[in-house]
Amino acid sequence: MQMLKTKTPPLEDRITAFRADLNRFIDERVAEIKKQCPGVPETVLRLQLMGKSGCECRTVLAIKAKDAQEVANGVA
């Protein structure tokens, strides 16, 4: 019996899709913050959220860790 091979998308496509997911997550968080700071441009909020690293992966991981900590502390 021959096994069917599943074709994995090219690395470039997977990276592009992953980066889109990260940016979507960050954009959603910026939109939440924007509700509390209506006069602040989204670009400024995004830069503040991302900090010095400028790395979407680190930003999402930091946000997720903070959210988890708030849930554990009963803040959220």
Q: What share of the chain is helix, strand, coil (3-state, %, to 5)?
A: 70, 0, 30
Rounded average pLDDT over 48-54: 89
Tell me the pTM. 0.81
Report the range out of 1-5, 7-11, 12-16 with the highest average pLDDT.
12-16
Burial of 1 (0-12, 13-18, 19+ CB in 10 A): exposed
Rounded average pLDDT over 18-27: 97
Q: Mapping DSSP to helix (H, G, I), strand (E, B) and coil, where does residue 24 land? A: helix
Instruction: Report whether 56 contacts 22 (CB < 8 A).
Output: yes
On average, the pLDDT of the chain sits at: 92
Instruction: Report whether 27 contacts 56 (CB < 8 A).
Output: no
